[in-house]
Amino acid sequence: MASHKLRILSMKWNNVRNFEQLPNPILGVEKFEFDQDGWTLKQIQNNYGKTSTMHLLRSCFTGVKMPKDKLKGYRYRQGRTDWGGDPEAKVEFSVMFSLDEDIFQIRTVLDWKNKTQEFHTYRKGTGGERAGWNPPPYFASLFEKKSDFAELLVLDGEKARKMNRATGGNTIGKAVRQVTGLSSVCDLIDEGGTEGRISGLVKLLNKQGGERKEDDLETALKLCSDHKENLETERDKLGDKLEGLMKDLNDTKEKLIAFDDKYKSGDEDFEKAVTAKERAKSALDRDARNVMKQLFNPGDSLGDNLWEDVKDFYGTQIRGKLPGEATGLFFEEIVEDRDECICGTEWTEKMKEIVLKERGKYIDHRIHPRVKRMQKKVVESDSTTDIGTLKAGLDAKRKAYLQASKRERELRKDFPEEERKKYKTLSIKEGKLETLLDQEKFKFDIYNSENRDFILEHDLDYHVRTKVEKHNYITVQPYIFIEINNISQIRVVEENLLLLILDTGESAEKARGAKILKDVLQESIGRVLQEIQKELEVKMNDFASKMPGVEFDITISESKLIFTNATGDVQDDANESAELGAVYGLVAALNEYADISLPIIVDTPLAGFGKGMAKSWKDVIGDGFEQGIALLNSSEKDDLRFWWSQEDLVVYTFLRENEVIRTGKDPNGGPTTGTMYIDDTLETFDLYEIDVGYSNRDTEGGE
Amino acid sequence: MSEEMGRASFILSNEMRGYFEKIGISKSGKGHSKTGYFPTNIHPFYLSMIMGIVKGKLAPPTEMSKDMVDVWVSDARTYEEELDGLGFYLHCKSLGLVNDEADNRILDEMKGFFEGQEKYTREGYQLMNKYAQGGFRVIMERIPDTKDLADWLSIYLSILEE
């Protein structure tokens, strides 16, 4: 049982997106409080502010401020009707927590005009609210600056999908370290793009001197450190450039969104067309990537005839005849080095001839396991698809994208010409910026990434390795290491040079001690993490297997989840529901592992799943957490009817004063008017938008 | 200039690189594709090699100024045993050993094809590089101008299926 308990008690909004002031002082509930030992379901229309709430929550959890250029996006948006909010006002959001017996509130204020964000903390019994992010120490140790961890608890589909994508970062690895409390020990060793504290100590000892070897290593070390500094400078320059590009891109996107919003709010068809195009594009991108992956299976790319020939070759020619292994010189050695044969008989020329002839039946021990594996894999391999099927799937996605683009273009033609021109210019700019950003991000990762997969994939360790044993198989040659562009790899060279130089003396002893300590820690932490990972994997698979569609064995790597299908093939692009199911499984497993009972907050949780998945989702997540808060749209509310209609859950509906409950519109069918408030009755929750027909509604989320 | 004998690595020749970079390789390039890029150099190399194998085309690799990996990386890593198997089969086939009962010769060839746990001998790389260059010739001829990845893949699959 967990030793600590964290709960979210309530939330408040002031001039956030479409929320004027919630809870509303005049209408609806006076206090917006959550069930502390169960689930609270909040029904909120799309585009009201669900996603913004999630971002604000993460910020309050971690004390990490929002990017300055995003602040404006949270401001109050006065619609065509005056709802009573102040579009010029600062944005305010607060959340009240309890941690064991401690009750505290974190309030954040976004001054979007001046691009600043502040935190204020209230702690019960400490004399009112104080400026700054100052929650109880245990909360701070869990969450401060730990966005990866907070993203697991304040989870939306976008974040969940991000966790499944390979990146230069170690998203999952970091989250596992944080939830298990190992992150502070990991600070001692070199991880996560930074030098560990022990490496710092070795450097300090080197500065203090000691008896040193007099050779070119000193010069090499100096050149190596200079090279590392140059790389760091280049990386930082790129980082600044990236920041500038991101800002430019965000501004452009914001303008495009504002443009679309202007038309979307008045034109439902256009809104649908834009969404359909985005989805079709994303499906096509995924499929193109998947086709390439699939083609790497020669059984799929070569077609049955050719691959069957290959399989036959290994099946009939070699199978059962794979020879034993022997070192390359085994037969020469016994003939040349021994006075007599291993059976004790004195050598004759004939015997020598027979033995040397025998060597042809053996293969070198270095390639034996490889050949054996190859033979087994090929003979047991299967085609999982064929070229025709791959092409048909890809072409269907291409066609869908073309049609969706055409539809959107046609509707856009109705806009005034000036507006169209402006939109086109912005679109072109957005495309160029995205390409440029991708390129620069890649360059940045070349310098900065420590992700092992990324380093191997791009051969960034190529210039590090040598065959020289006395140099610990690491290069000491400046003309070679000057070619290294990855900072983590140049550090390997630098550290090795330090050790080679510090050959004798007291400082050398200390440095060696520190190095041993680091190596032991690195290995122990590696093992502990591996154990944790295995346990998490078992639990995650157990949870995720309850989700229909998750017919994969899922393993955890530092940067992503890896899906292996029933035939043993790795499938990086699993279907969306499997990806989400796996992440929910991981989160539930992590929660079970932690020494604290944590809440989970989910945004449009069923987006990406079919309706049939609602029951499984409830089994995995609904029953996996002691406190849960779900931000739902009405369609999801309907999908989860079996749950809230049977169990005693706390339910809320966000709606406007004049809104007709059954339609989610004003009585005349127009956009909703009147001030927003929160209703806590089961009846409103049940009937909200019931006349719209839930199956026709968008379940893909959004604000 | 031919790279035929020189490299103990895969070869994505300058002309191949130039062609595929127009679509986009990884995020480093000058690609025009709107539906994603080739994630690494190994992707276009492999797709060219498969085209060469299916169409039975080999050609001497042309000049490569930059380095290229010498092991199957990225998505190819998942199928490295199968790719070993394919490469060695083609090697034996080129020597007329596929239907040969002479087991010892096949074993001898293994020693001359594989190098350690994941690399190949120069002879091994040579064969795969020749298929890649041969396949690239087919690609150049049949898909000269397409710059969008999804469009390119669709045509590529059609040619492969013929």
Structure tokens at A526: 């590696």
Distances, alpha carbon A227 to alpha carbons A104, A241, A409, A480, in Å: 49, 21, 51, 12
Residues of A in contact with B81 (CB under 8 A): 373-374, 376-378
Give residue A700's pLDDT.
41
For the entire predicted model, the pTM comes to 0.51
Together in a domain, A357 and A383: yes
Together in a domain, A86 and A104: yes
Residue B108: closest C-alpha in chain A: A360
Together in a domain, A379 and A428: no
Distances, alpha carbon A443 to alpha carbons A31, A169, A239, A361, A394, in Å: 50, 14, 10, 49, 30
Together in a domain, A72 and A42: yes
Residue A653 lies in a domain: yes
Residues of B in contact with A387 (CB under 8 A): 157, 160-161
Give percent above pLDDT 70 in chain A: 79
Range(s) of the domain holding residue A243:
213-296+392-501
Task: Give the confidence band of A504 by pLDDT, cuts at 50, 70, 90.
Answer: low
Residue A533 lies in a domain: no
pLDDT tens profile A26-59: 888 888 899 888 999 999 887 778 888 999 999 9
The pLDDT of A295-302, averaged and rounded, is: 91
Is the per-residue pLDDT at A601 higher than 60? yes
User: In whole numbers, what is the pLDDT of chain A averaged over residues?
Assistant: 79
Together in a domain, A60 and A103: yes
Is the per-residue pLDDT at A150 higher than 70? yes
Give residue B33's pLDDT.
87
Higher pLDDT, A580 or A432: A432
Residue A81 lies in a domain: yes
Give residue A88's pLDDT.
85
How many structural domains comprise chain A?
3
Which of A350, A366, A391 is the last residue in one of the domains? A391
Together in a domain, A85 and A153: yes
Contact predicate B152/B35, CB 8 Å: no
The CA angle A543-A547-A553, to the nearest 5 degrees, is 65
Query: How many Cβ atoms sit within 10 Å of the Cβ of residue B27?
Result: 18
In angstroms, the separation between the Cα of residue B98 and the nearest Cα of chain A is: 7
pLDDT tens profile A341-356: 878 888 888 888 887 7
To probe the interface with A, which of B40, B79, B103 has the most A CB atoms within 10 Å? B79
Is the per-residue pLDDT at A651 higher than 90? yes
Higher pLDDT, A192 or A105: A105
Q: What is the Cα–Cα distance from A170 to A167, expressed in whole angstroms?
A: 7
Residues of A in contact with B35 (CB under 8 A): 281, 284-285, 288
A284 contacts chain B (CB < 8 A): yes
Which of A501, A529, A553 is the last residue in one of the domains? A501
Give residue A650's pLDDT.
92
In angstroms, the separation between the Cα of residue B56 and the nearest Cα of chain A is: 11
A317 contacts chain B (CB < 8 A): yes
B110 and A363 within 8 Å at the Cβ level: the answer is: yes
Q: Which of A94-103, A306-315, A653-662, B81-90 has the lowest mean pLDDT?
A: A306-315
Best-predicted range by mean pLDDT (A418-422, B67-71, B152-156) = B152-156
pLDDT tens profile B8-63: 889 999 899 989 988 988 755 567 888 888 888 899 999 999 999 999 999 999 88
Residue A521 lies in a domain: no
Higher pLDDT, A563 or A396: A396
Together in a domain, A292 and A304: no
pLDDT tens profile A355-392: 777 766 666 666 677 887 888 888 888 777 889 999 99
Per the rule left: phi > 0, alpha: psi between -120 and 50, beta: everything else, B152 is alpha
Residues of A in contact with B27 (CB under 8 A): 438-439, 441-442
Residue A380 lies in a domain: yes
Together in a domain, A399 and A365: no
pLDDT tens profile A203-241: 666 665 544 455 678 888 889 999 999 999 999 999 889
Residue A528 lies in a domain: no
A288 and B83 within 8 Å at the Cβ level: the answer is: no
Which of A440, A469, A501 is the last residue in one of the domains? A501
Give residue A696's pLDDT.
45
Give residue A118's pLDDT.
95
A387 and B92 within 8 Å at the Cβ level: the answer is: no
Residues of B in contact with A391 (CB under 8 A): 154, 157-158, 161
Residue A614 lies in a domain: no
Query: How many Cβ atoms sit within 10 Å of the Cβ of residue A507?
Result: 19
Q: What type of residue sits at position A206?
A: N
Together in a domain, A143 and A127: yes
pLDDT tens profile A660-686: 989 888 888 777 888 889 999 999 999
Give residue B136's pLDDT.
96
pLDDT tens profile B91-145: 988 888 877 555 667 777 887 898 887 889 999 999 999 999 999 999 999 999 8
pLDDT tens profile A2-25: 678 899 999 999 998 888 889 988
In angstroms, the separation between the Cα of residue A523 and the nearest Cα of chain B is: 24
Residue A204 lies in a domain: no
B89 and A367 within 8 Å at the Cβ level: the answer is: no
Rg (CA), chain B: 16
Contact predicate B66/B17, CB 8 Å: yes
Together in a domain, A359 and A490: no
Residue A111 belongs to a domain with what CATH number?
A: 3.40.50
In this structure, what DSSP letter does residue A618 have? Answer: I
Task: Give the confidence band of A103 by pLDDT, cuts at 50, 70, 90.
Answer: very high
Together in a domain, A409 and A288: yes
Together in a domain, A286 and A316: no
Structure tokens at A65: 């401020």
Task: Give the confidence band of A166 by pLDDT, cuts at 50, 70, 90.
Answer: very low
Tell the burial category of A405 from Cβ atoms under 10 Å away from its Cβ (0-12, 13-18, 19+).
middle
Give residue A317's pLDDT.
58
Give residue B78's pLDDT.
83
A298 and B73 within 8 Å at the Cβ level: the answer is: no
Best-predicted range by mean pLDDT (A190-199, A638-647, B121-130) = B121-130
In angstroms, the separation between the Cα of residue B162 and the nearest Cα of chain A is: 10
The pLDDT of A305-314, averaged and rounded, is: 85
